[in-house]
Structure 1
Amino acid sequence: MKATPFRPYKVLNLELSEGIPELLPDGRYQGIFLVVWWHRIPLGALEILTQNSPLSPAQLTQQILPAITLPVGDRLLEHGFKASLPVTKAQLPQDFPPAYSALISLQNPLQKLSQQLEQIQIPPQSSVSVIICTRDRPEQLQHCLRSLQNLHHQPTEILVVDNAPSSDATKNVVAQFPAVRYLLEPQPGLSIARNTGIQASVGDLIAFTDDDVEVHPDWIFRLQQGFHDPRVMAVTGLMLPAELDSEAQLIFHRGVGGPGWKYRALVFDSEFFEAMKPFGVPAWFVGAGANMAFRREVFNKIGLFDERLGAGASGCSEDSELWYRILAEGWHCRYEPAAVVFHYHRKELEHLQEQSFQYMRGHVTALLIQFAKYHHWGNLRRLFVALPRYYSRLLWNALIKGFKGRNMTLITEIFGCFSGIGFYFSRR
């Protein structure tokens, strides 16, 4: 049987303050990935198949309401709508059941939401250095730098770390932006480049994004707000797809889009860390390396990025390993969905395969590094018990249903796990 040609999804951003339109079908697309906003605050998202349109404004409203109810309640009410931390076989205090009647009784809840967010104070000593580490992707970098020019709150400085380039193309792009500082790091490795940027920066807060990202105009301001609690040493934000034009992009998007708190703020604290320590603390849930910021002081307290991790070395997990150390030392990490970036996922399936291999190699390497540093046995439990069980289930499912969709990258992920063990012992 001939495979059905892939049709892309249209990414559509809907600002509620501008009204809800009629949603008309467009045969060029399989569906719409609709992100719902209120005065530049992301409230939720939903997928609408083309076959289920057209939708009148009233019909679209009925679909939007369930998608935004929990995030709105999370912002406005103390109890009933808070996201649960990702714990396994461990009990943490749970929030009360959603108090929908309390939310319905609020007058003008969306207006209150805007006011509440604007009342969050930016802490003192919150100047920001933005660091972008890049290697031979000048066109993507140019788009990223243009988006940074549109920030409503400009950072103290923007640094581009050119990591082991093969030409002067990146340097020439940076020269087009007089306010951006260029740094050459000849030794390859993302963590090495990140550390070079940290050591050259001056800001109280150090924010990282990637060259394949465009930032929302409020990005810096929302990251700064996330540090209002002095116990928070790292803040991450929401990563939305800039496009879903290929099957690889859709698979990646659905793979990273699962957490139920995606549009609700969440604090990862010591209680979470201790509850999950016997099972392997899932620090990767804290966020994405393309959208993260740190207090400068945390690098003095716990050290810089581990240079065995990240692209150009193990493959990834330099970000989650640092979040792990922050939590292990008793500090907090905050996920703040109001801090938004738009990411251009890799378009080609072969590139997604390679990325999946690198992800799992880096993840396994990080588990072994974390165990060597802290002797937390949960890291080995995840490596030798949880991951084999997880991939056994997926492999069995793939043998029955086929290696398609999420299962396309399954074999490369498994090879990545084995490669991570070899990589760690070769770099101890």
Structure 2
Amino acid sequence: MSGLGISVVICVYTEDRWADILAAVASVRAQSHPALETLVVVDHNPELQDRLEREYKETDEVRVVPNAGPRGLSAGRNTGIAASYGEVIAFLDDDATAERDWLRRFADPYSDPRVLAVGGRAEPVWSSGRRPAWFPEEFDWVVGCSYRGLPPGRVRVRNILGGNASFRRSAFDIVGGFATGIGRDGSKRPMGGEETDLCIRLTRARPDAILLTDDRAVIHHRVPEAREHFAYFRTRTYAEGLSKALVARSVGTDKGLESERHYAGRVLPAGVARGLRDQFLARPGGARRAGAIVAGVLTAAGGYVVGSVRARRNGTTFAVVPIEADGGGAE
């Protein structure tokens, strides 16, 4: 669909990522399928907003807008959806760059009206220059990237990954926006799961909906040095357990943990076996990778138990509001 209008939303929150933000926007502006517009949504940081407005004041295709909701990624994305014009809205992390054909790979499947979401592959760019020897590929989701165990090619999935994603605008008309109360909200705890929740709600409301990933829609996601350490790995896996508990409470355990059962039952045991084999063959880091997988499972499971207890005790609820277009909607 060469004429498909795609709005790109990049949510930002800190000047510490200034160079990353500029690189992300530049990668969108260099697409082979030109973006209709790029919206940079600033999460309650007036200084950063002012600086970005000065940077792009003479650039018609880049708009800088403040997050109109509570602090956090979900409200920022909802703000971008409401302010955008495209028939499709794509999301790019503020510390990632997209390959030249990223939007073209997204656009092609939307020729089928049943396709409501298309995601892609995120490759890690390690600040140290190489993957830490102990870090298992099965856990690359810890640093916001695609992980070993995801199906290759263009395939149908339960949910797409939020840092490299696109949705048909009508999807938000059907189920509203991203739920606040799930995912990152400006706190130090690295939560997630808001895109999983949205995708499950979408396929429940529209059983005929098709959600795809295409591993040719590639972004390169920078991994800061602080996230290359086991301390962050442990914190993030625990937070993922908390997040999964919230998602399961929102959409039910059957769908909320459907993909995770396959991942934990097949992908991770194979990863442990691979690590032990590498150790036997004297390859660097084999035993440590196997140990990290076991530790990741245990901390995620611990987070899930704690999150489930808290959700039941506190009666946790999530806000899902309709998206009211203030950008004009699809052209």
Identify the residue that residue 168 of structure 1 maps to in structure 2: 47
Contact (CA 8 Å) 1:138, 1:173: kept in 2 or not?
A: no
1:423/1:289 CA distance change after superposition, 3 Å: farther
Identify the residue that residue 342 of structure 1 maps to in structure 2: 220
Q: Do structure 1's residue 189 and structure 2's residue 72 form an aligned pair? A: yes
Whole-angstrom CA distance in 2 between matches of 1:205 and 1:380: 25
Q: Do structure 1's residue 318 and structure 2's residue 194 form an aligned pair? A: yes
Find the structure with the greater CA-based Rg: 1
**Partner deviation per Cα, 1:189-209 (whole Å, 9 max, x = no partner):** 111111111111111100001
Contact (CA 8 Å) 1:247, 1:347: kept in 2 or not?
A: no
Whole-angstrom CA distance in 1 between matches of 2:25 and 2:223: 18
Whole-angstrom CA distance in 1 between matches of 2:118 and 2:32: 19
TM-score (norm 2): 0.73
Whole-angstrom CA distance in 1 between matches of 2:161 and 2:310: 23
Post-superposition shift, 1:153?
Answer: 2.3
Identify the residue that residue 42 of structure 1 maps to in structure 2: none
Tell me which of 414, 418, 421 is aligned to 2:301: 414
Whole-angstrom CA distance in 2 between matches of 1:241 and 1:151: 20
Give the share of equivalent positions with the same residue, in percent: 21
Contact (CA 8 Å) 1:127, 1:205: kept in 2 or not?
A: yes
Whole-angstrom CA distance in 2 between matches of 1:265 and 1:339: 10
1:341/1:307 CA distance change after superposition, 3 Å: same
Identify the residue that residue 274 of structure 1 maps to in structure 2: none
Query: Could you tell which deviates more after superposition, 141-150 or 414-423?
Result: 414-423
Contact (CA 8 Å) 2:136, 2:292: kept in 1 or not?
A: no
Whole-angstrom CA distance in 1 between matches of 2:18 and 2:148: 31
Identify the residue that residue 291 of structure 1 maps to in structure 2: 164
Within a 5 Å distance, the mapping from 1:395-414 to structure 2 comes to: 404-414=291-301
SS of residue in 1 equivalent to 2:71:
coil
1:258 maps to a residue whose letter is R
Identify the residue that residue 322 of structure 2 maps to in structure 1: none
Paired positions, count = 279
Q: CA RMSD in A?
A: 3.4
Tell me which of 348, 352, 359 is aligned to 2:240: 359
Whole-angstrom CA distance in 1 between matches of 2:10 and 2:265: 37
Structure 2 unaligned regions, length at least 5: 141-146, 276-286, 318-331
SS of residue in 1 equivalent to 2:110:
coil
Post-superposition shift, 1:170?
Answer: 5.0
TM-score (norm 1): 0.57
SS of residue in 1 equivalent to 2:117:
strand
Identify the residue that residue 203 of structure 2 maps to in structure 1: 327
Tell me which of 26, 32, 41 is aligned to 1:146: 26
SS of residue in 2 equivalent to 1:251:
coil
1:380/1:208 CA distance change after superposition, 3 Å: closer
Contact (CA 8 Å) 1:241, 1:343: kept in 2 or not?
A: yes
Identify the residue that residue 327 of structure 2 maps to in structure 1: none
Post-superposition shift, 1:223?
Answer: 0.6
Identify the residue that residue 70 of structure 1 maps to in structure 2: none
Whole-angstrom CA distance in 1 between matches of 2:256 and 2:160: 22
SS of residue in 1 equivalent to 2:40:
strand
1:335 maps to a residue whose letter is T
Contact (CA 8 Å) 1:252, 1:352: kept in 2 or not?
A: no
1:287 maps to a residue whose letter is I
Contact (CA 8 Å) 1:234, 1:295: kept in 2 or not?
A: yes
**Partner deviation per Cα, 1:30-68 (whole Å, 9 max, x = no partner):** xxxxxxxxxxxxxxxxxxxxxxxxxxxxxxxxxxxxxxx
1:141/1:252 CA distance change after superposition, 3 Å: farther
Tell me which of 240, 253, 267 is aligned to 2:156: 267
Post-superposition shift, 1:358?
Answer: 2.3
Whole-angstrom CA distance in 1 between matches of 2:18 and 2:119: 25
1:416 maps to a residue whose letter is G
